[in-house]
Structure 1
């Protein structure tokens, strides 16, 4: 009996370790055939000794947690676009990056109105990543989301265009004034750039939050000092 129990515990431990390596959420409803093709790019960003502390500060910022998602990923319903969006999300959600992402086919509520779900998710996200492909350009909902994002903050630095296999002539006119990340040649490098962009945004939130706290503290200390001088 003891030998059987040891063997059972060992098999469960091995199974849990393998699941952890996949960085896959339970009940994510992602096809296994798609998940098995995800890139092994989680080791692309080696951290320096000082970065883990900075990363924790950025991820623990109060301003960050006021939004439900860090990244809203907009993509078409084409199978290739879904696969690429899943690869991006798996990369961003993996430890130590641990970003919170929104995928419409995973995170929308059954029975909810598409426009309502999309608009609410955008409002609840810090960054909007648009996977712009030939299918994206032809998709009405993708264009709707793109225009909503542009209308809410055209100069807010909260939008990341991701270009993939799209001729320059077909690139949306509305996006011509934005820098984009080209995923066509090196998707892994592009994913790293997306992460770095989101991380800088969260870092700036943390910096502004700390600065505001220091300014308030200085104001209080200054007032007390002024009273003492009198």
Structure 2
């Protein structure tokens, strides 16, 4: 673990120079840019965005997507490319990338746990290096702890066989970036948008049900109300 911290500090110090020296990949839909966009760093309200992105429910959390990856150079570059794609217009998603967004000198574990709580979804870039790093497995378990049965986790696999896929998330659908990376990036964006759209839809349904209950018949002295209460009694079970 101490070696991991040394590698992290070294990687963050050389981040700018690595970005200048390494050529961008040709299979990414948008140019690589590691500069945080306004959509990533801003916590203010929405501005001229699609309905799912402009909803108040979305802006209750700081990030739309948190991206977890290993310290391997290839994984770092892949995560940067993905975040650049998602943050670029017209997608305008707000992403958390710990190598960029963790404050220097702050406790990394604490900041990561807070970022998990402040993000709608978490993406795991699962590669051979990811499976070898204890820190990555910690990140995966932390994300699972926040929502073990929810739809908030997006596994992304690259260059691993099916038998290496972590058992902890075997019931989650994954996106295979090894087949078509452009299509994979677009699918990630669509998944985030679908999640936000479902949030808005569920909120509207809930509000509609609340309004209907307020506008319904009074329970006091109503035989219909008595029938509903009796019908909602828990069913008896036999062992």
Q: Does the alignment reach a TM-score above 0.5?
A: yes
1:31 paired to 2:31: no
- The size of the alignment, in residue pairs, is 185
Which segment drifts farther, 72-81 or 144-153?
144-153
> CA offsets per residue over residues 84-115 of structure 1, 9 Å max, x none?
11111111111111110000111001111111
1:70–1:126 Cα contact (<8 Å) kept: yes
CA distance in 2 between counterparts of 1:211 and 1:34 reads: 49
TM-score calculated relative to the size of structure 1: 0.74
2:156–2:174 Cα contact (<8 Å) kept: yes
Shift of 1:177: 1.6
Structure 1 residues 102 and 181: CA distance shift in structure 2, 3 A: same
1:34–1:83 Cα contact (<8 Å) kept: no
- In the TM superposition, 1:1-230 aligns within 5 A as 31-33=19-21, 36-37=24-25, 39-41=27-29, 56-222=50-216
2:66–2:123 Cα contact (<8 Å) kept: yes
Shift of 1:155: 1.1
Shift of 1:40: 4.5
Shift of 1:215: 3.2
CA distance in 2 between counterparts of 1:33 and 1:60 reads: 37
Unmatched tracts of structure 2, length 5 or more: 1-14, 31-48, 219-239
Shift of 1:219: 4.2
Unmatched tracts of structure 1, length 5 or more: 1-27, 43-54, 225-230
> CA offsets per residue over residues 175-212 of structure 1, 9 Å max, x none?
22211110012111111111111111000111122223
CA distance in 1 between counterparts of 2:113 and 2:70 reads: 16
2:28–2:181 Cα contact (<8 Å) kept: no
Please state whether the residue corresponding to 2:103 is helix, strand or coil.
coil
Runs ≥4 residues deviating over 6 A: none
TM-score calculated relative to the size of structure 2: 0.71
Structure 1 residues 187 and 65: CA distance shift in structure 2, 3 A: same
Give the helix-richer structure, 1 or 2.
Answer: 1
Please state whether the residue corresponding to 2:50 is helix, strand or coil.
helix
CA distance in 1 between counterparts of 2:26 and 2:51 reads: 29
Shift of 1:223: 7.3
Structure 1 residues 208 and 38: CA distance shift in structure 2, 3 A: farther
Which segment drifts farther, 31-40 or 160-169?
31-40
Asked which structure has the greater RCO (Cα within 8 Å, sep 6+), the reply is 1
